[in-house]
Amino acid sequence: MRPLPTDDLIRAQAFSPDERAAVYYAIETRRDVRDQFLPEPLPADLVERLLNAAHRAPSVGFMQPWNFIVIRDREVLTAAHKAFQRANEEAAAMFASERQELYRSLKLEGILKAPLSICVTCDPDRGGAVVLGRTHNPRMDVYSTVCAVQNLWLAARAEGVGVGWVSIFHDADIRSLLGIPERIEIVAWLCVGFVDQLYREPELALNGWRQRLPLEELVYSDRWGNRR
């Protein structure tokens, strides 16, 4: 491969201390927002910035498999909320009695409270039949799409915007509601809106659902299970 002309390159030096701190602060204070959304609509240019951040995500083979359905229509949001409620009742029944009570106390979505939602999808055909980097792991397109979700989430944190990921619904309900073709995979339903406060720690941790695992228990050296 020929060397790139210098006009196509940027310097790879470390960020300044302030810039670096801002990146880590966004990562450390990002939260899954469930019920703290403000009703104020998001300006169109802000939404465009969030979508552009998502579109800048890395993707295997540069296939960019994502699409974004921006939903503001209250009838559509109401229908999505009903689909969530049906699935949420089914989910609650899957937990043991003491866990079920805690589950029902959690506010797990903000579909009606947030001013808009974004449905993020993955097109497995975007890069053609054979995609560089996906030849031996066909799920790399979905993993790439999740990177787009994370990009959007961190950009939203920097903008003072909250994001909540809703995953409790039957795929067929959302597919029918939004007219999504069968070959397209639904990856995320994101509730998006301004917030004025965030929990200091993840809400599920504060409510006793689960706690953050110690990093040292998750890092191995050279091979599985080796913590030396």
Q: What is the pLDDT of residues 97-155, one digit of tens each?
A: 889 988 888 876 789 999 999 999 999 999 999 999 999 999 999 999 999 999 999 99
Instruction: Tabulate helix, strand, coil % of the chain (nearest 5).
Output: 40, 15, 45
* Residue range 78-96: mean pLDDT, rounded: 94
Q: What is the pLDDT of residue 105?
A: 86
Residue 92 domain flag: yes
Kindly report the pTM of this predicted structure.
0.94
Q: What is the pLDDT of residue 3?
A: 67
Paired tokens of 178: 């939004």
Residue 96 domain flag: yes
| pLDDT-derived band at 4, boundaries 50, 70, 90 | low
Residue 197 domain flag: yes
Residue 18 domain flag: no
Q: What is the pLDDT of residue 107?
A: 75
Residue 19 domain flag: no
Please count the structural domains in the chain.
1
Q: What is the pLDDT of residues 14-41, one digit of tens each?
A: 999 999 999 999 999 999 998 899 999 9
Residue 218 domain flag: no
Q: What is the pLDDT of residue 98?
A: 84
More confident residue, 193 or 99: 193
Q: What is the pLDDT of residues 43-58, one digit of tens each?
A: 999 999 999 999 999 9
Host domain of residue 205: 36-212
Residue 175 domain flag: yes
pLDDT of residue 2 exceeding 70, the answer is no
Closest CA to 209 of 87, 105, 93: 105
Please report, for the domain that includes residue 156, its CATH number: 3.40.109.10
Q: What is the pLDDT of residue 114?
A: 96
Residue 60 domain flag: yes
